[in-house]
Amino acid sequence: MLLINLIPNRLSTHQTWCGRRNFHEWNFENDNGSFGLCFDCWCGICCWRGAQVVKLVAKDTSTWVPIEGGAFGSIMYQQDKFTFNAHGLVPNGDYTLISYNDNAWAAPEVVLGNGIADKNGNILIKGGKFTLSTYDYTTGEYAGQTGAKIWLVPTSSMTGDNLNWVDWGNFLFETSLIT
């Protein structure tokens, strides 16, 4: 009976670059929930036990639908550390990872880290403990949830800790909240 409960009816795989080596992430879903496995990683960060993962994707800003084949990334985090990697970015582009503040329109964002994409458009940003800008959502796709949005933005879209919305067609947006 237990084995039947673990058989996935949906399986997705994803290969990710972690800075030193590729790893493969397998996400299994069935009616009892979902779980993921990753393997073939040598960096020692990608497969933290108990880490939560939020994926970020490029979205069509007129419809908010993810762009097929567009840039993407993921943040793996625990309370005391995180690692973020992304692919398909502008080569040698300067980027900032932020927790977007939905509490006030022109409020400062929490900057988690900065980095420059390599010649292939890949980036790796690591950090320690961070404080998020959480928000109680009452409308939209997150209605009834409290959490934080994590975005990767071109550094040119930041003025200090404030988002100035320049070049927002090159943002990576969250696919779920960090709770």
Task: Tell me: pLDDT of 54 over 60.
Answer: yes
Task: Tell me: pLDDT of 14 over 60.
Answer: no
CATH 3.40.1090 fits 48-174, yes or no: no
Local structure of residue 164 (DSSP, 8 states): -
Task: Tell me: pLDDT of 66 over 90.
Answer: yes
AA letter at 60: D
Residue whose pair of structure tokens reads 């959480």 in the numeric block: 134
Domain boundaries, given as residue ranges, for the chain: 1-47, 48-174
Confidence class for position 39, pLDDT limits 50, 70, 90:
very low
pLDDT, position 48: 56
Task: Tell me: pLDDT of 138 over 70.
Answer: yes
Contact 43, 19 (CB under 8 A): yes
Contacts of 176 (CB under 8 A, 6+ apart): 54, 55
Compute the chain's Rg from CA coordinates: 17
pLDDT, position 75: 94
CA distances (Å), 76 to each of 54, 128, 138, 144, 177, in order?
7, 12, 26, 24, 13
